Amino acid sequence: MAGTNRVAHHTDETRKALVNRLRRIEGQVRGIARMVEEDVYCDDVLNQITSVEAALNGTRKQLLEAHIRSCVVEQIQDGKLGVVDELMKTIGRMVP
């Protein structure tokens, strides 16, 4: 599996910001399950799912930026261009 021997090197601040965003998203998803259980009107549930997707997209962009600015730049500077192949695969999955 890609990344097996490697770790991320986030600053404490970045890591904390990412974890907080993800915990908030987790709570939102739990709330949506409850909305469905309580038969909340579909339009309202659909819009709430769309909000969660926007929040996930924001988190994903923040993480991608942290990744490019640290790991990718460093590895390119070290001449390890394999990181670009990986980056292209990852972006390829993110971009429609």
> What are the residues binding its own copies (CB under 8 A)?
1-4, 6-10, 15, 18-19, 22-23, 25-26, 29-30, 32-33, 36-37, 39-47, 49-50, 52-53, 56-57, 59-61, 63-69, 71, 73, 76-77, 81, 84, 86-96
Cβ atoms of residues 87 and 68 within 8 Å: yes
Short-list 77, 47, 62, 69, CA closest to 15: 62
Residues 46 and 50: their CA atoms lie apart, in Å, by: 6
Q: How far is the CB of 41 from its own copies (least distance, A)?
A: 3
Q: How far is the CB of 57 from its own copies (least distance, A)?
A: 5
Q: How far is the CB of 81 from its own copies (least distance, A)?
A: 7
Residues 83 and 89: their CA atoms lie apart, in Å, by: 10
Place of tokens 């915990």: 23
